[in-house]
Amino acid sequence: MFEQQPEDLRKKVKQLATEFTQNADPSGWFEVLYADAERDAQQVPWARLAPHHAVQEWLEKHNPSGNGKSALAIGCGLGDDAEALSRQGFQVTAFDISSSAIAWCKQRFPNSSVNYQVADLFHLDPAWNRAFDLVVEVRNIQALPLKVRSQVLRAIAPLVAPEGTLLIITRIRDTETEPDGPPWALSDGELAQLQQLRLTEIERNIFFEGENDEVKHAQITYRAPG
Ligand SMILES: C[S@@+](CC[C@H](N)C(=O)[O-])C[C@H]1O[C@@H](n2cnc3c(N)ncnc32)[C@H](O)[C@@H]1O
């Protein structure tokens, strides 16, 4: 997230995230940002109006058959990753805390079979526990500060069905030192919590977003036990 954005948008994001995080509401600023954008995607720093390339590459490589299977897109933003999962044949649920983002998804994809919902990762329906064969998490963990990191990971891990898969696309960092965010890249120590939450890492690909980009990104696949 936050690649190649104009300075004023970067400042706005930093200011909103700092203000809401100080008020113990680290997810609250996203609705402000989406509502202020008034459906101009250029005002949403992470919006690309296309699936994330690392999701697309993962789908092309693994070519999972979604027929009869469920998928969940966490913090789905403007919906492009959810739509990619739907094209793969999955029955997709996609949620975001921002009602403006979800309304925008429904406007962009009026004939979609994706079940778009407003929901808060921190207060999910218990019926979603172990309910999804494929859970896709793109750039949301990194969008939330370290003080809620364990809470975020504990909310995501239980969503994966037995023998199901979790795909994470995220920035990663090499130290356990707290980074200056947003975004707050993930450390190995933080990712290791997913293993304690019964998920086994089965694949990790590191990538950079451009030739001069020094920020490490990762596409990580986890498998849940049967
Ligand atoms: C950096 S954006 C990434 C959006 C999308 N996944 C993408 O890659 O384009 C983070 C998203 O997480 C959503 N979000 C933040 N906190 C959330 C929460 N507690 N529950 C659900 N969604 C949340 C935001 O509204 C935002 O759409």
> How many residues appear in the chain?
226
Any atom of ligand 1 within 6 Å of the Cβ of 54: no
Q: Is 74 exposed, middle or buried (0-12, 13-18, 19+ CB in 10 A)?
A: buried
On whether residue 180 sits in a domain, the answer given is yes
Looking up residue 147, the CATH number of its domain turns out to be: 3.40.50.150
On whether residue 7 sits in a domain, the answer given is no
Pick left, alpha or beta for residue 134 (phi over 0 → left; psi -120 to 50 → alpha; otherwise beta): beta
On whether residue 72 sits in a domain, the answer given is yes
Using the predicted structure, report yes or no on whether residue 75 has a pLDDT greater than 90: yes
On whether residue 78 sits in a domain, the answer given is yes
On whether residue 140 sits in a domain, the answer given is yes
On whether residue 115 sits in a domain, the answer given is yes
Phi and psi at residue 55, to the nearest 5°: -75, -45
| Mean pLDDT, rounded, for 149-176 | 98
For the chain, how many helices (H) and strands (E)?
A: 7, 7
pLDDT range class, residue 2, cuts 50, 70, 90: low
pLDDT of 61 reads 98
Residue nearest to atom 27 of ligand 1 (CA): 77
On whether residue 83 sits in a domain, the answer given is yes
**Which residue is associated with the tokens 């999910």?**
124
Task: Choose between 13 and 210: higher pLDDT.
Answer: 13
Residue nearest to atom 12 of ligand 1 (CA): 75
Any atom of ligand 1 within 6 Å of the Cβ of 138: yes
Determine the structural domain holding residue 162 and report its residue range: 49-223
- Residue 183 near residue 215 (C-beta atoms within 8 A): no
Number of domains in the chain: 1
Q: Which residues are within 8 A (CB) of 127 and not within 5 positions of it... i.e. 6 or more apart?
A: none
On whether residue 75 sits in a domain, the answer given is yes
Ligand 1 mean position, distance from CA 121 (Å): 9
| Nearest C-alpha neighbor of 81 from the set 100, 47, 113, 55 | 55
132-156 pLDDT per residue, tens: 999 999 999 999 999 999 999 999 9
Indicate the pairing of strand 70-74 with strand 132-138. Answer: parallel
pLDDT range class, residue 219, cuts 50, 70, 90: very high
Any atom of ligand 1 within 6 Å of the Cβ of 140: yes
